[in-house]
Structure 1
């Protein structure tokens, strides 16, 4: 998967939320200050070229939909984060965030429970 820019990620978030949308639909749910219509349209076309967004023709316009699943994007982004910033070590990343976020006892126990459940499934 190609890396997405921050602007592309923001548009993808809106498309995942809407499931399918015209450019104006995406623009309506963007936070203020809203980008220009042409900016959103251009970013969506870039996302299409990257193969993460598709479209159907409806009337004189297009309805866009995400091809890339949100969960797949998250998985690839986390792998990229671990590889590039934590020497490929999930342990180093988890330790970093546990220290930085100052997790309380309940949060740590919840994280350990999830890790143990995941280990049992494998």
Structure 2
């Protein structure tokens, strides 16, 4: 299952903070145009889709991501590589390194990773 952009924003907060209330997630979104009830509705939809779980044992319900960050990133990356770069990992890497300046530390990590392959 592929989360929508709004669902991804919520998942990012849940991955960072862990189990959280709707209020906490809503505050983390920093969206002035979206109301609390919109965030609540999105999280209820995500619950129905099986993306999050909800603990109702306390007064404040807590939500937790059921999709792992790594699996979700992997799925999105595969889709990008296949649809935008015609399956070419090389083009993706060259574009990513060409568009954003990587620090020396990041370049060293990339070199180390490549050497280990």
Tell me if structure 2 keeps the 8 A contact 1:27–1:34.
no
Q: Distance in 1 between matches of 2:27 and 2:115?
A: 42
Shift of 1:92: 1.6
Which TM-score applies when normalising by structure 2? 0.83
Q: Which residue of 1 aligns with 2:2?
A: 3
Gaps in structure 2 of 5+ consecutive residues: none
Q: CA RMSD in A?
A: 2.2
Equivalent residue number for residue 70 of structure 1: 69
Give 1:62 deviation, angstroms. 2.4
Aligned pair in 2 of structure 1 residues 54, 95: CA closer, same or farther (>3 Å)?
same
In structure 2, the residue matched to 1:83 is 82
Three-state SS of the structure 2 residue aligned to 1:29 is helix
TM-score of the superposed pair, with normalisation by structure 1:
0.80
Q: Deviations over 1:1-51 (max 9, x none)?
A: x22221111111111122111211212222242621111011111212222
* Contact kept in structure 2, 1:20 and 1:63, CA below 8 Å: yes
1: distance between equivalents of 2:16 and 2:106?
Answer: 28
> Structure 1, residues 76-113: CA drift from partner, whole Å, max 9, x if none?
11111111101111112112223333557775454232
- 1:61-83 Cα offsets, whole Å, 9 max, x none, are 52110111111111111111111
